Amino acid sequence: MGIRHLIAITLTTVALAACIDDQGFNGKGAETAESQAIIEDGRAIAEANCASCHAIGRTGNSANPKAPAFRTVLKRYSAEMLSTELAEGMRVAHGPMPQFQFRPEAVDSLIAYLRSIEVTSGGQALVEANCARCHAIGKNDTSPYPGAQPFRNLGQRWRRDQLRQALQTGIIAEHDKAEIRLPPMKLSASEADEFLGYLDTIATPSAPAPR
């Protein structure tokens, strides 16, 4: 075989390898599709077993105010702890949720789904976890608890320095229903900054954030 034939074969091989990479057949495409399938399995598990109480999507309020939105769960519990509890049999304090025990592959799918919808903004995670059960925290939603101030209106009642100081001192929530009476809302300086930063993200010209 001559040197020209060897060069031609080599160039053809390189070209084919490039085409394979461009078309996603180098293994990465299959891995991505497999990961997506696992996430979809987790979503189906959440929809079938949890959606009657929990908000299982990237937005929306839980049907049961005591049930945390799934997008905040991994801010409350480590994935490892949650995996163990789901596999061994999870029992929670709020009713009427039954005890759940999942097969290992179902646990992996559910955790993958939780990771896919996890809130990454510190300020959003803070208000989702601590405030959304009573207050409207979006640009146009309604507070789950009547009388609880929508967060988009806080700029009409508070200056920025006043609200920061109140959050760090501790805001006392006095609701008339004992089951949703909350301890003082007291944040660290960094948490207060994240809270105020979140208010900036939901501000509109008609409902500006605290100045």
pLDDT tens digits, 142-157:
888 888 889 999 999 9
Cα dihedral: 35, 37, 38, 40 (round 10): 130
* pLDDT over 60 at 32, yes or no: yes
**CATH among 3.40.50.720, 1.20.1560.10, 1.10.760.10, 3.40.50.280 for 35-118:** 1.10.760.10
Q: What's the confidence (pLDDT) of residue 61?
A: 79
Q: What's the confidence (pLDDT) of residue 26?
A: 42
User: Do the beta carbons of residue 69 and residue 117 sit within 8 Å?
Assistant: no
pLDDT tens digits, 46-84:
999 889 988 899 888 788 877 888 988 887 788 888 888
Helix (H, G, I), strand (E, B) or coil at 90: strand
Q: What's the confidence (pLDDT) of residue 51?
A: 92
